[in-house]
């Protein structure tokens, strides 16, 4: 199949950027134009079309909904790795989990963590490894009900996440003491996440721009890191409000270090860079 890019005319780019913004809150700025043309040209040819116009006509039909999911898989970037932005995991393991797991061992209340925009599972499995480690260090934690809900818009990323097999390059930052208990060799350059860690994570597809979220109870900790970079300020503000509503009083909220929340309008209390807390509890 030819790798030559198909021309993405102004009107085509306007159509796709408006569609992606309306459905997913993601702003495809002009700088993304060649990325979009590159990532979508192959798909257009695969479907037997010879132009973007024909492809976008398909998206306009009722049957275009499934294709929209293919499209978003191609235009989002699912880059992630284990232990990315390590200070969040240090705080989780030293400051947050001991009190959550200890509290749960005494009260029986579940510990719930949400990885929102979980990409191919690197972030939620990192969290699950730390939960497992904290449980093994806390007396009486055997019966604690703790788990991670991991959501993303990209079906392709979620499929990879469920497979749970990673190349060495994704694991470079993972501390040595977490390797042998929680990873199994799965080939010359591949490691598979242990069943015990997998059992702590539930993967679901969820569009963060579609509120209200369908959760039955609130979370102790929410990670929504390196996701908001895609959104414009009004969508970001809405997202933060929606997340605030599903965090328990006293709960924690982590964002990416390259992201920021405007202090005046942010409902969370600032703790330190990229770390916030809901007051109360
Ligand atoms: C760069 S990855 C971040 C992964 C991980 N949180 C980290 O920090 O390493 C961003 C993820 O956000 C997801 N995403 C983008 N827009 C979304 C939306 N509207 N709803 C849910 N997920 C979205 C993308 O599919 C992608 O997997």
Q: Identify the CATH homologous superfamily for domain 86-277.
A: Vaccinia Virus protein VP39 (3.40.50.150)
* Alpha-helical segments (H) within the chain: 10-24, 33-46, 52-60, 64-75, 86-91, 97-107, 122-137, 155-163, 176-182, 195-198, 233-245
Compute the distance from residue 37 Cα to the ligand 1 centre, in Å: 21
Mutation probe of ligand 1 site: the residue of 25, 28, 83, 119 with most atoms within 8 A of C-beta? 119
Mutation probe of ligand 1 site: the residue of 114, 122, 152 with most atoms within 8 A of C-beta? 152
Q: Which atom of ligand 1 is nearest the CA belonging to 81?
A: 9
Q: CB within 6 Å of ligand 1 — which residues? A: 24-26, 76-80, 84, 117, 119, 123, 152-154, 157, 207-209, 225-227, 230, 256
| All structural domains of the chain with their residue ranges | 10-75, 86-277
How much is the pLDDT for 233? 87
How much is the pLDDT for 263? 83
A 10 A CB-CB count for 269 gives: 12
Q: Are the C-beta atoms of residues 123 and 115 closer than 8 Å to each other?
A: yes
Residues with Cβ within 8 Å of 136's Cβ and at least 6 positions away in sequence, in order, are none
How much is the pLDDT for 3? 67
Q: Are the C-beta atoms of residues 152 and 205 closer than 8 Å to each other?
A: yes
How much is the pLDDT for 1? 52
Compute the distance from residue 205 Cα to the ligand 1 centre, in Å: 11
Q: What is the mean pLDDT of each run of 10 residues along the chain (281 residues)?
A: 79 93 90 91 93 92 86 89 97 97 95 98 98 94 95 95 96 94 95 98 96 95 94 91 97 95 91 95 70
How much is the pLDDT for 280? 86
Compute the distance from residue 153 Cα to the ligand 1 centre, in Å: 7
Long-range CB pairs of 87-95, under 8 A, 24+ apart, other chains included: 88/223, 88/225, 88/254, 88/274, 88/275, 89/126, 89/127, 89/130, 91/275, 92/127, 92/130, 92/221, 93/130, 93/133, 93/134
> 10-75: which CATH number, 1.10.760.10, 1.10.155.10, 2.60.120.10, 3.30.200.20?
1.10.155.10
Residue 50 CB-density burial (10 A; 0-12 exposed, 13-18 middle, 19+ buried)? exposed
């Amino acid at each position: 199949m030819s790798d030559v890019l198909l021309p993405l005319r102004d009107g085509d780019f306007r159509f796709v950027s408006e569609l992606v913004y309306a459905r997913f809150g993601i702003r495809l700025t002009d700088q993304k134009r060649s990325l979009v043309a590159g990532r979508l040209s192959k798909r257009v040819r695969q479907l037997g079309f010879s132009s973007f116009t024909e492809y976008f006509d398909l998206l306009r039909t009722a049957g275009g909904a499934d294709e929209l999911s293919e499209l978003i898989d191609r235009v989002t970037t699912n880059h992630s790795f284990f232990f990315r932005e390590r200070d969040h995991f240090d705080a989780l393991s030293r400051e947050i989990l001991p009190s959550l797991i200890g509290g749960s061992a005494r009260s029986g209340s579940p510990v719930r963590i949400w990885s929102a925009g979980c990409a191919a599972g690197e972030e939620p499995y990192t969290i699950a490894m730390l939960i497992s480690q904290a449980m093994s260090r806390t007396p009486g934690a055997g019966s604690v009900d703790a788990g991670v809900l991991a959501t993303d818009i990209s079906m392709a990323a979620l499929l990879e996440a469920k497979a749970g097999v990673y190349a060495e390059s994704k694991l470079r930052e993972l501390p040595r003491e977490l390797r042998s208990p929680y990873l199994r060799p799965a080939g010359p350059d591949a490691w598979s996440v242990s069943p015990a860690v997998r059992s702590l994570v539930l993967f679901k597809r969820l569009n963060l721009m579609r509120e209200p979220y369908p959760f039955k109870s609130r979370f102790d900790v929410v990670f929504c890191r390196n996701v908001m970079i895609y959104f414009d300020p009004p969508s970001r503000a809405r997202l933060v409000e929606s997340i605030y509503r599903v965090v328990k009083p006293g709960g924690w909220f982590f964002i990416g270090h390259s992201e920021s929340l405007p202090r005046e309008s942010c409902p969370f209390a600032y703790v330190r860079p990229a770390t916030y807390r809901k007051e109360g509890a």
